[in-house]
Amino acid sequence: MKPRLMRSEEERMIAGVCGGLAQYLGIDPVLVRLAFLLLFFAGGVGLPLYFILMIVMPSEADIDLSQSAIVEKNLEGLGDTISSSVERSRQHPNGPAIAAGLLILMGFYFLFENFGWIDGGIFWPLALILLGVFLLVRRGQ
């Protein structure tokens, strides 16, 4: 029987969406998180897609509910999920350093793109293609 697509309770950083997708696809959750990050920088699709999946995907505990009940319950818990995730990241000992590092990397990317040293038009499509090929090869093993 093929596994059902549901949010993970064990591999959870925000709402368990990436962990659930990884479990469904049989890959490492870090790769799914990287894919969402790439989708975010490749046109901003990653964040809305994550929120849509957070609303429509059932958690492991809610797998037997109807889709409308799942959406209703997920919408009610959306604010709590986001606020608890923000609080957890604020309490992480390396949280500020990680955020600073990401901001610096993003700053370098946009700086190099403005100087013409990086062609942003080709970088993200190539990154997504390479990630897709990697995922397909890894899934075939």
How do residues 12-69 score in pLDDT, each as one tens digit?
778 888 888 888 888 888 888 888 888 887 767 777 888 888 888 888 777 778 888 8
Domain ranges of the chain: 17-140
Residue 13 sits at φ, ψ, to 5 deg, of -110, -40
pLDDT value at residue 138: 63
pLDDT at 1 over 60: no
**Rounded-to-integer distance, Cα 15 and Cα 114, Å:** 35
pLDDT at 135 over 70: no
pTM given for the model: 0.56
pLDDT value at residue 128: 63
